[in-house]
Structure 1
Amino acid sequence: MRIAMWSGPRNLSTAMMYSFAARADCAVWDEPFYAPFLKQSGRQDPMLEEIFAQEETNPDIVAARCLGEIPHGKTVFYQKHMPHHMIATMPRAWIADMVNVFLIRHPARVIASYAKKRENPTLEDIGIEMQVSLFEEIRTRQGHTPVVIDSSDIRRDPAGMLKKLCQAINLPYDPAMLSWPAGGHACDGVWAPHWYPEVWKSTGFAPPEGDLPILPAHLQPILQQALPCYERLATHALK
């Protein structure tokens, strides 16, 4: 089984990767298309030189690996993908052969978290418009509605929601998914020291979130643009 988990940044995506990595049957891959995206978009993200030096930048090679042999002799291949990496020059045919899941989070929380790492984030940065576009494209290509799961629901009931997720994709649930060692994972991308310090401290899913953050005025327009996209996907979320 090859799972493509489509998630925007700051969206429990790394914790979910660690959760699947805790399964004995599962190999994981951290943001396969990040380096090709940076190479082709010209975006100046942190640690750019290190990323280009150590990660594959050819999108066709990356796409072939997504469908290729599962590493380490495992039977499940969990791939953490970011929708906004899939710009027009990226191959997409491979996606039709994946088990596609969409991980969502309320955009107020995403924007507030992202702004701590990158000042003045844009709608494109959080990837939610592309997430909806990919959702509709995959639904058309595969002929069924992809699975959607909300990160807030996972944090409220990790065991219950992971069981529902596994059932929805026909994967046996493994309670090992509820915890992992602190300190990161061997499959973390090169960019992990910049983006993952907080999740490196974790050994399981964080407790339920509180009230929605109140964003400053200059970020309110992004929130208003993002909300309809989130609400559109949320109508399909596992409950």
Structure 2
Amino acid sequence: MAADGTNSAPKKIFMWLNPRSISTAFEKCVSFMDGAQNWHEPYLTCLFNDLFEDEETFKTFPGMKVFAKQFHDAEKLVETGGHPYQGGNLRLSKDFNWDWVKEQLEGPLAEGKTFMFIKDAAFSIDGHYDKLPEVPSKHTFLLRHPHRTALSVRHVLSHLYEFPGKEEDFDIQSGHPFMQWEKLSRDPMYNLWNYVRENIDPNPVVIDADDLQNHPEQMLRKYCEAVGIPFKKKFLKWEKSDEYLRGFYGSLDQLVWGKNEGVYDSAMLSTCFRPPKGPIPEKAPDNCIAYVNEIMDGYNKMYETRIKPE
């Protein structure tokens, strides 16, 4: 607490992650906390806009045409009102650009809100650190073991790119633009963590998904303490419905796309953090190993700094 009795904790809290790290379930959990104003992946929306507006994207990565069509189908649903998120704070993707997002995240909290929680993929902001809000913020990072994320990424991407063969045969390195896109650095999550340590906060909060799933009360309590949110046991359970998304800020058509393609199903319909399914795989399949090798070293270094369960 500050000397005047007010809470001095930053009112803007970021959660950065690699894809498939149970972050959307965490985001849902936070949405049921008192005073939360949730922003869903605003920088990723800007990145998607850049990709879809650049003709070179589809020349270099023809598979992106399938991805883009899925977004176009979501846009058409939005235009006709054929989706469940009418009447909320969500906006069309076309309204998003880097400067606008920075301005929104630097702005005041919505009426009745006490903190802003921004969940986004670390690779989304890669090369755009100048678009981070220049206001007091707490940057936090959600890890998940690369062997777990690689298998989950392969499962989702083989569907999104309409891979004609077996899921086990889909190569996530050669089959997905983000894994080989020359504009992205190697291991954007680790690079962002280092940037935050060197320029914003020498001790950013790091938590691990397995710790969270195995020890939800301990880890959520410690996370809340680290970012200045008063912890309550009621945070450990939430409603199964996805109605909470009506109150989100972010891209309407991006969320509709995710719902259409089943990307967020397990998270959106979750009610609590459940234990992980089995132990961490000892090794990654051959068609995932290149991806794992890119992020494993950074994961290990960040893991050593994580908040640990008691």
TM-score (norm 1): 0.90
Counterpart in 1 of 2:28? 18
Counterpart in 1 of 2:84? none
Counterpart in 2 of 1:113? 152
- Which residue type is aligned with residue 151 of structure 1? A
Counterpart in 2 of 1:165? 223
SS in 1 for 2:101: helix
SS in 2 for 1:94: coil
Counterpart in 1 of 2:190? 132
Whether 1:175 aligns to 2:175 is: no
Distance 1:118 1:176 in 2: 34
Distance 2:115 2:71 in 1: 30
Moved over 6 A (4+): none
SS in 2 for 1:62: helix
TM-score (norm 2): 0.70
Distance 1:29 1:70 in 2: 11
Cα drift, residue 143 of structure 1: 4.4
Counterpart in 2 of 1:234? 303
CA RMSD of aligned residues (A): 2.5
Cα drift, residue 74 of structure 1: 0.4
Structure 2 counterparts to residues 200-239 of structure 1, below 5 A: 200-213=268-281, 214-239=283-308
Q: Which has the higher contact order (CA 8 A, sep 6+)?
A: 2
Distance 2:31 2:276 in 1: 22
Distance 1:51 1:80 in 2: 22
Provide closer, same or farther for how the CA distance between residues 117 and 137 of structure 1 changes in structure 2, counting only shifts above 3 A: same
Report how many residues are paired.
239
Distance 1:147 1:95 in 2: 19
- Which residue type is aligned with residue 190 of structure 1? V
Counterpart in 1 of 2:136? 97
- Choose 1 or 2 for highest CA Rg: 2
Structure 1's unaligned 5+ residue stretches are: none
Cα drift, residue 105 of structure 1: 0.3
Worse-matched range after superposition: 227-236 or 184-193: 184-193
